[in-house]
Structure 1
Amino acid sequence: MSGTNEGTFEALRTQLREAASTFADGPDALEGILLGMVDDVDRAVREPLEVFPVCHHSPASAVAMARRLREKQPKVVYLELCEDMAPLLTELRNCRLPVAVQAYATEVDGFPADWAPLSVVAPITEASAEYQAIAYALDTPGVELVLVDRSSDHVFQWDARAEQPAAPDDPEAPPAEEEAALHGDAVGVEIGDLRPRFAELEEHLLRHGRVRHWSEWWHQYVELPLGDADHDTYRQVMFLIGSLFRRLAPGDPHRVRVDEDRERHMWTRMREHLAVTGTDPADCLYVCGAFHAASDVEEFGVHGADTFEIGPRSGTKWLHGLIPSSHTAIEAQFGLASGSVSIAAALWTKNLKRTRVKPYRLTGQAGTKKTAPARTAPGKTPQPVPQAPTADQLTGFLRRPPVLDQLDEAELLGWSVDIVRAARRNGYLASTADAIAVFQTSILLAGMRDRARPTPYDFQDAAVTCIEKDAVPGRRDVRRLVEIMMGGDRIGQVGYDALPPLARDVHDRLAPLNMKLQQRGVQRALLDIAGRPELEACSDVLWMLRYLMPQGAARPIMGERRLGERPIQESWDLALGTHQRALIELGYEGVGIEQVLEQRLRRTAYGPQATAAVVLEAVEDATLYLRSRRLADELGTHALAVLASERSVDGAPEVLRRVRRLLAHYRTSEPVLPSWIESFVKAGYAHYCTLLPTAFADEEATVRQVGAMLGFLFSMEGLALSLGCDRTQLELAVMQSHPQEPSKVALLWAAQVQLGRLSREDLRARCDELLGNPLALPAYPRYLSGFVHALEPVPALADFVVEAVSNAFGRLPDPVLLPWLPTLVTTLRSGGADLAPLLIREAGRIFPGRLAALDEWVPPWREPKDAPRADRAVRAGGRRGAVLPAAHPATCDAVATLLGWDGAWQPEIAGAEGATLLARHPQTAAALEVLMATA
């Protein structure tokens, strides 16, 4: 074959040499580029192992591939795809395309830790040449499919991220659409990334082609001309384009080295396979991107040099699976124009009808029509068509003027009517006149761009111009409506049989819900656990999925999970089909969701940034979702060590909240407290006593944090003392505290009251002194803030806080009160929002319940101190004290018996005797009054 094609492109070389001399005014670099392109094409054509150049998701490449596979029927197909993804390709028949083959690693060995998790995806659509090759190889007996590209591990070994600083995220960037985020942060690997890497070249092509983006240029000047081209013409044109983009690529050393190493890797693997199997190269087909097909590395070809050594893989353990993909996700990941993949899919369908080429589809492929296999005579096998000597088809193709397609008025008219109908459904005020305008504008735009037949991109621009005038009334704009009309954003789905074990286990355990979990969209699940106890297991799975998966995958509408409580009824919004990728990636971390959840909790608790509050949260989650006492004890012991190593009080509020919750749970559900929580309370008591003086003096420690420390010390004091702690340590810590900030000063006063070192009368006197000092009035709201936070460690001061606020409103004149009133409100709202209910409840108990009683009401703190308690109670409640015994005689008899009162009831003087009884026992009268007020 080499001798036959020796002078194939000599005529083309001569013409290009003359053109270079004419345009460049003499031989120079232009001649070298043009003649080098012809040499690249000639070398690729002469190669004994047939090289088939493709472009990713190109309908022309897919049609040419299907046609060539039926003609040649190769025995071995070499495919440019990561070699470690080969075992997953057989699972494609259990999926609905488009899907992506994924390699995933959560724990890295040999790569920077901040790169984790590592992910590589290779999306596959039906209108792609790689799918045609895969379907042919997997469904044709005796055909071997060999993936020859670098492994997923080498993708990151050759990555240049370690040499480049991380780019900061753009805070103003719009959020990615749900379908565009199906691939996540994965690195995309595709066959045939064919796009100019020279910015000036792409700008030149777009400007002279009168198009807006690269996808439109490719559609107009490559897809349409090559849609009906024969095999030789298709190959030579793709070789030429790949050579042009390769020779005009910018000189990025790393990228050039990676591209060349990939080519060396692929040819080395192919020669190794040929040497081992003894396959004739004429029976093989090498499918690769046109950029790599026109290669000039020494390892190129069957007879190339064996000088490239493939390095070993790192110690990273890679997991492989299939994840759903979509047209939008492919466009977003590879920088294609919006809607280009959908338009390519529509063109693929049209090409199949026009050329009558029979495509290959995997047997049982979901989402496609079943095609009967080609029938052959009994005892006969289809024979490949012998390859004819390659002729120079490139010269004629380049010299031939572009073929102008005739205007298909019926097709364009149908598009115009359909887009108006879709626009009206989405809120646009479109009419028949708009359909006529879109039709005429499409023809006008095509004529301005030197094409007789409007392309989908011309039609899209015309529809936007004529229909979308001022604003978008609905969720979709006209450009998006055109994309949907041209084929829409097809979203793939991974079938049950292709799911990892964890995902299948989730589907099996949720089967009692009788829901289509693989269906996209939100579905409502109702769980009557009281009536169907078997649904409690489904509830456990849903709560774990809510913890592990992104927001929206499993969202509770009714019901909550708390420590020590059992669910009765729950309602959930499930979107597992929409978040199928996240569920599949959970399967890479373990074989069950319990295992994955335990790993996540351990990773969180033992992380370098873990605090005592974070570890306690992990303990609570282990108890709440896994009901694992073993794991909770292990993490609780670790929380003790983390708390001992902390030197700040930032997490004190969270520690206090979670320890209280865990203590309440263990006291009600366990016969004895776990040893770890007893040790935690004991160590925490000593730890916070040690840090208390420093926290009071530290300006960065907030009053909320100091209040939480005191809350831990006072609320856990009884348990800590029973475990051997000494109260003297707390008293010394309070004595050594000397705060300057007003809110912390008030907090210290509250602590002294709790310890008995300061009486309420002294505390009231200090507040009165502050109100009487004009210099201290601006800081009075901050003192009140401290008193509010003091309700955390000393809740018995609630009545005093109400008194302090009431005195401020009652004593201060408006010119003094109004300026700091906003500060008071904002301080209480921001710093004491969780403590406000306690104040409101106490105020409701102290203040009268009716407006009419307000005039006669006397605040408890203003009552004469020498007045009998019974008289004050009778005055506060009117004749309630006298009526109370007669209204409840049995209760009064019991109380009288306890007090040693003997006497018979006399109805005419029952009220007087009741009043006398209350006067003799004022404490009992006050208790009865409180009882009646709360009742």
Structure 2
Amino acid sequence: MSGVDESTAFAALRGQLQDAATEFADGPDALEGILLGIVDDVDRAVREPLEIFPVCHHSPASAVAMARRLREKQPKVVYLELCEDMAPLLQELRNCRLPVAVQAFASEVKGFPAEWAPLSVVAPITEASAEYQAIAYALDTPGVELVLVDRSSDHVFQWQADTVDPPDQDAPPAEEEAALHGDAVGVEIGDLRPRFAELEEHLLHHGRVRHWSEWWHQYVELPLGDSDHDTYRQVMLLIGSLFRRLAPGDADRVRVDEDRERYMWTRMREHLGATGTDPQDCLYVCGAFHAASRVEEFGVHGSGTFEISPPSESTWQHGLIPSSHSAIEAQFGLAAGSVSIAATQWAKNLKRTRVRPYRLAGQAGARKTATSGKAAAPAVPAAPEAPSDKLSGFLQSPPALDRLDEAELLGWSVEIVRSARRNGYLASTADAIAVFETSILLAGMRDRARPTPYDFQDAAVTCIEKETVPGRRDVRRLVEILMGGDRIGQVGYDALPPLARDVHDRLAPLNLKLQQRGVQRALLDLSTQQELRRCSDVLWMLRRLMPHGAARPIMGERELGKQSVQESWDLALGTHQRALIELGYEGVSIEQVLEQRLRRVAYAPNATTAQVLAAVEDAELHLRGGRLADELGTRALEVLATERSVDGAPEVLRRVRRLLAYYRIGRPELPAWIESFAKTGYAHYCTLLPTAFTDEDATVRQVAAMLGFLFSMESLALSLGCDRTQLDLAFAQSHPQEPSRVALLWAARVHLGQLSRAELRERCDALLDNPLVVPAYPRYLSGFLHALEPVPQLADFVVEAVSNAFARLPDPVLLPWLPKLITTLRSEGADLAPLLIREAGRVFPGRLAALDAWVPPWQAAHEAPALPPATTGGAAGRAVLLAAHPETCDSLAKLLGCEDTWETQAATPTTGAVLTARHPETAGALEALLAGV
């Protein structure tokens, strides 16, 4: 540095601020610590041997100043405020179309709360940003080194573990473009915004603007767009110091900010010491808030006492994900459309200042320029100059009055009316004129010589929308699109992780542009093109792993034992590219990722039997079962043995039935785990059955599912060694009181033969005859309806029970009782109602004319003539019955292996007695069967 006295650099500014403090605060002491401290911060940063370049996040003025300074200084080392572990990914930016975000992702979390998983950190990068200019310069200029010096992604969560809550998993989903970053924690270069709410409110009020983005655009962005380097630096340092000194005293946040600054300066001094680089050949790019730092480690001559804590044991993966203007605005709290307006302002600045920006060679989506990818001529090193005071002149100069560009404003007005008409608004030329004049009027009311895009947006909403939104987009959104639109980035094929590239390769036979955004239709004829079956397998796995809409089947299904001949899919892999990239952080193939997720679900501490069985089913569907399905099935058996509730009984019953049917058809023998599951489940539910019948927390549907499991698995369980006595004891100990459970118990006993249909019919008749019980009769019907799950053969009886209620109850009782019956059946048995409706359709006549002569089957059975006295008992009665029904006897004789023929003599008791004597067991069985009917 030159020998100029440091105290004289900003002496004039210090004197002016002291006079202002004395005049407005009745003495210099009130504001001296703030106003003079700001000047000290600026002076300290400007005199630092290692040049500090303060920036603001996604600021066109910062980007233009950065491009201009890089061409002037040509630094050999660029220190950048960005997570140091993201450095290897920056080379892949040339394979992408901006905006994109550099992401660090950790699915295996160690050292952090488990509910935080997965951890994700993103750093969005746009072309109109200072960080991109620095990256492009460093990567495409030979001999230049780019060093990222900010805390690592792991330290982001280490330092914020006590100050940041985990992402809200129940938050409402954002719009598609705004959700591109997911639940990631965003890091940015230059988080420059007042942290003192009253200060921001004061600035917005006196600036006559609605939000911070508009204030920044009007009072900082536009004035600094044409300023020289020294003015830009000092103004940005002034703003950073002002916001820092007026920030509220949040100890945790202050600690994190200061630790970041200590971290960065420690890393820079380590690099300077290791490489021997002259600080004059370096450039430190950081946010203006951190440039005005007061920590002891500040500067190349600062103290080196800061100790960097070791990273946690979490495994971090890194990659690039697509970003968008709206995603950046949503994550960092910017006004909607502000990033698009910044992109438009960036293009204007380049055209006006003729600054040549830096772009990575081969950058997708970037316009080619004469200097793209070429290194500029090395700058001639100049002797360091003492800092001069540029703040005084900037603060005292009146704002530049930019004349009205009528052609630009007129073009905006015409285009917004044309866009509004396309979106359903009844806009006309008169509205275009109104928007034009209102924009000028609003700018004048806000002391602006030229309407800003925000003034134009307000004018368009006022003149066109008129408090109605007839179209798909409102006018404010149409203005954002007009100003540049929501540009959405894309990660190129070469920058994708191996899993994503493998998915694209395996889906290549579909001949679709999978990286293109939007929905594409894929038609698969699996009968004639066998190679498409592999594509089908990939699509079904993507449907299982990715968000809804990424791969959506239109035609075709995949169930156990079924495979479609043709399939039709709606694919939007380009739209959901972030989700596909994050799958690549979990494995190298989708099969591996699916297996890991199934294991994670099955071995979770709170896993239920139904969830594990669902994992078994997915393993059979997508991974062809085998070892994994057997392992997960064994895990389901372990979970079942530990459950003490019946909450998941319906789902367990549904899935185990489906798996059992699949194994019986597709395998020569059942897997060992499902045999053990049937045996263990039989004993388990027999044990829980008495408690479930009386437990208020257990629903009737859950108890019915338990009975369904016991009845459907009974034959298999008994063949494997279970004892039927367990079930008998369980029913003997079951004493429910609630009507629906009582009806369910009656139906189950009918299935077991402990209760005949005649007895059940008598009990229902008794319920209808008792006026005190009639109001509760719908609950009995609900129990009978749920009984169709374990005892589907009772469907005709349930129809009879409902019909008897309508036939026997008088209207004064039936009409008030009918709404309760309908709501009960709808809420508690909607899934079983189709079975009841089919049975009613079979029983009742199909035509109205036949209804008058129709006799219900249950009444016809009661009115049937009684058998002769000789048939009521003894061998003679049985002989007459057998002679009257020879076909039944022939069928039973053939089943038993009897080859005797009927005698030709007339059927007499003696002949029947001879046949009965030969087969007494058959006669006894028939007698018992007919007695039950």
In the other structure, the counterpart of 2:544 is 547
Shift of 1:713: 0.8
Asked if 1:791 corresponds to 2:788, the answer is yes
Task: Within 5 Å, give how 1:49-64 maps onto structure 2.
Answer: 49-64=50-65
In the other structure, the counterpart of 2:194 is 196
Preserved contact between residue 792 and residue 835 of structure 1 (Cα < 8 Å):
yes
Alpha-carbon distance in 1 for matches of 2:506, 2:169 = 39
Amino acid at match of 1:362: L
In the other structure, the counterpart of 1:667 is 664
Deviations 1:400-453 (A, max 9, x none): 111111111111111111111111111111111111111111111111111111
Preserved contact between residue 73 and residue 379 of structure 2 (Cα < 8 Å):
no
Mark the CA change 1:72 to 1:844 in structure 2 (over 3 Å): closer, same or farther.
Answer: same
Alpha-carbon distance in 2 for matches of 1:357, 1:15 = 35
Alpha-carbon distance in 2 for matches of 1:302, 1:217 = 35
2:122 aligned counterpart, secondary structure: strand
Quote the RMSD (CA, aligned, Å): 2.3
In the other structure, the counterpart of 2:344 is 346
In the other structure, the counterpart of 1:16 is 17
In the other structure, the counterpart of 1:403 is 400
Asked if 1:745 corresponds to 2:742, the answer is yes
1:353 aligned counterpart, secondary structure: helix
The equivalent position to 1:569 in structure 2, one of 552, 561, 566, is 566
Alpha-carbon distance in 2 for matches of 1:470, 1:269 = 55
Amino-acid identity (%): 81
2:82 aligned counterpart, secondary structure: strand
The equivalent position to 2:273 in structure 1, one of 272, 275, 293, is 275
Shift of 1:829: 2.0
In the other structure, the counterpart of 2:778 is 781
Preserved contact between residue 563 and residue 624 of structure 1 (Cα < 8 Å):
yes
1:863 aligned counterpart, secondary structure: helix
Shift of 1:642: 0.7
Alpha-carbon distance in 1 for matches of 2:373, 2:323 = 34
In the other structure, the counterpart of 2:917 is none
In the other structure, the counterpart of 1:133 is 134
In the other structure, the counterpart of 1:261 is 259
Q: Which moved more, 1:162-171 or 1:671-680?
A: 162-171
If the length of structure 1 is used for normalisation, what is the TM-score?
0.91
Alpha-carbon distance in 2 for matches of 1:669, 1:125 = 55
In the other structure, the counterpart of 2:640 is 643
Task: Within 5 Å, give how 1:371-386 maps onto structure 2.
Answer: 371-373=369-371, 383-384=380-381
Preserved contact between residue 5 and residue 389 of structure 1 (Cα < 8 Å):
no
Amino acid at match of 1:338: A
Shift of 1:842: 2.1
Preserved contact between residue 612 and residue 635 of structure 2 (Cα < 8 Å):
yes
Asked if 1:504 corresponds to 2:519, the answer is no
Alpha-carbon distance in 2 for matches of 1:719, 1:800 = 28
In the other structure, the counterpart of 2:248 is 250
Task: Within 5 Å, give how 1:134-173 maps onto structure 2.
Answer: 134-160=135-161, 162=162
Asked if 1:827 corresponds to 2:828, the answer is no
1:322 aligned counterpart, secondary structure: strand
Alpha-carbon distance in 2 for matches of 1:480, 1:856 = 69
Alpha-carbon distance in 2 for matches of 1:395, 1:472 = 49
Mark the CA change 1:85 to 1:170 in structure 2 (over 3 Å): closer, same or farther.
Answer: closer
Alpha-carbon distance in 1 for matches of 2:2, 2:258 = 25
Deviations 1:886-910 (A, max 9, x none): xxxxxxxx9xx9996999xxxxxxx
Shift of 1:375: 11
Amino acid at match of 2:341: I
The equivalent position to 2:618 in structure 1, one of 596, 621, 624, is 621
2:518 aligned counterpart, secondary structure: coil
1:106 aligned counterpart, secondary structure: strand
In the other structure, the counterpart of 1:119 is 120
Amino acid at match of 1:507: H
1:689 aligned counterpart, secondary structure: helix
Preserved contact between residue 119 and residue 187 of structure 1 (Cα < 8 Å):
yes
Task: Within 5 Å, give how 1:444-523 maps onto structure 2.
Answer: 444-523=441-520
In the other structure, the counterpart of 1:601 is 598
In the other structure, the counterpart of 2:204 is 206
Shift of 1:370: 2.0
Shift of 1:521: 0.9
Shift of 1:811: 1.6
In the other structure, the counterpart of 2:797 is 800
1:313 aligned counterpart, secondary structure: coil
Mark the CA change 1:175 to 1:640 in structure 2 (over 3 Å): closer, same or farther.
Answer: closer
Alpha-carbon distance in 2 for matches of 1:864, 1:224 = 95
Mark the CA change 1:838 to 1:899 in structure 2 (over 3 Å): closer, same or farther.
Answer: farther
Mark the CA change 1:683 to 1:766 in structure 2 (over 3 Å): closer, same or farther.
Answer: same
In the other structure, the counterpart of 2:872 is none
In the other structure, the counterpart of 1:3 is 3
The equivalent position to 1:328 in structure 2, one of 308, 326, 329, is 326
Deviations 1:631-675 (A, max 9, x none): 111111111111111111111111111111000000000000000
2:320 aligned counterpart, secondary structure: strand
1:764 aligned counterpart, secondary structure: helix
Deviations 1:336-393 (A, max 9, x none): 1111100000000000000100000000000111233479999x85645655443222
Alpha-carbon distance in 2 for matches of 1:68, 1:153 = 33
Alpha-carbon distance in 1 for matches of 2:526, 2:904 = 57
Task: Within 5 Å, give how 1:350-361 maps onto structure 2.
Answer: 350-361=348-359
Mark the CA change 1:676 to 1:168 in structure 2 (over 3 Å): closer, same or farther.
Answer: closer
**How many residues get paired?**
878
Shift of 1:602: 0.8
Deviations 1:685-726 (A, max 9, x none): 011111111111112211111111111111111111100111
1:526 aligned counterpart, secondary structure: strand
Preserved contact between residue 749 and residue 763 of structure 1 (Cα < 8 Å):
yes
In the other structure, the counterpart of 2:234 is 236
Alpha-carbon distance in 1 for matches of 2:694, 2:403 = 85
The equivalent position to 2:292 in structure 1, one of 284, 294, 297, is 294
Preserved contact between residue 71 and residue 384 of structure 1 (Cα < 8 Å):
no
Alpha-carbon distance in 1 for matches of 2:688, 2:202 = 69
In the other structure, the counterpart of 2:363 is 365
Preserved contact between residue 74 and residue 378 of structure 2 (Cα < 8 Å):
no
Amino acid at match of 1:289: G
Asked if 1:721 corresponds to 2:715, the answer is no
1:318 aligned counterpart, secondary structure: strand
Alpha-carbon distance in 1 for matches of 2:615, 2:159 = 38
Preserved contact between residue 72 and residue 386 of structure 1 (Cα < 8 Å):
no
Amino acid at match of 2:791: V
In the other structure, the counterpart of 1:79 is 80
1:427 aligned counterpart, secondary structure: coil
Deviations 1:131-157 (A, max 9, x none): 000000000000000000011111111
